[in-house]
Structure 1
Amino acid sequence: MLKVFIMEDDVQQLTELKSITEQIITKLDLSDSLVLTFDSTTDLAHALPKPGPENVYILDLQINYNKRAGLQLGQLIRQSDPDATIIFITVHDELLYTAYKYRVQALDFISKDQDNIYQELLKDFRLLTHRQQQQQANVFTYKSYKKDPRFYRVHRSYLVNPHTVKNVDFYSRQIVFYNGLTCPVSRRKARDFFELVRQLKHPQDENLPKQKRK
């Protein structure tokens, strides 16, 4: 089930975004999903759910004439909900680069000036659901598989099969799978898990003599 949180301070646009999102949910057969709307950043900040990859935030970039309010809200969300999906709806395309400085890691920036919000959001939701479906083949909840020796706990919520891992990105603290999908890894687990993956890929390295320091 997806939980979609829409933030837009214009009531008419908020209603339109909710309608578009509900149409997409129906089209993709995601009928068990929940859509909540907010016209205040404070209200949304107080209503942040339990963190999880099922959370989707659709945020207006400019709120109450503040062009960076959406970025600031996105930064707050990212800090408390690192696995969530964030999508910005904006007329300020020039702030795209600024978003990287905020480390929001948004999935998309959709321009209000174009009459394609439905199509763009549909594309994003299709990508999101596809990622979740594919990720289930590689990532499993800790409670369900904690006794299975094939899997390694990399995060408080996830176990991963190390044989399906291509790389560990320390900068973003993400595990990258061979199929292109990613999974979060905790800072405490990252280096040990990287060493495990390295040993699986290059077991012969363990038998090599260590070089002496000159």
Structure 2
Amino acid sequence: IIFVTSHSELTYLTFVYKLAAMDFIFKDDVDELRTRVIDCLETALKRLDLLTKDNTVETMELKQGSNSVYVNYDDVMFFESSPKSHRLIAHLDNRQIEFYGNLRELAQIDDRFFRCHNSFVLNRHNITHVDAKDRIVYFKNDEFCYVSVRNIKKIKN
């Protein structure tokens, strides 16, 4: 709430009615009024942006036959091809899940997922170390995956 008033003596009423005011702007100076209203609106937009970002947890559905498992993007270290056809293995923070899917589609879900090898899609947000010489990427949970020669430079940047 932004109060724009010419009655400064009534500002105490906001406390009486327990209103949370962002600002009290007096109508005396038109130039100052304009800049303070704009400043308040920008602050409100920033607060709204922070609230919406913090509350959204992005999840994906992994299909296991007739069952589905929902996983947070941030819990995924990487995906790899399974020896079983048409299946992948999701390497999560504390477990692995085998599910039906393909790596090409997973790499397009979000910018954090990157197809680094024919057999792997990694989560850029969970990388702890990149060994360019051996073309290995290490993750928060101490697991690792391999990277193709062509893609190692893209990950290092």
TM over 0.5: same fold? no
TM-score (norm 1): 0.26
TM-score (norm 2): 0.35
Greater share of residues in strand: 2
Q: Rg larger in 1 or in 2?
A: 2
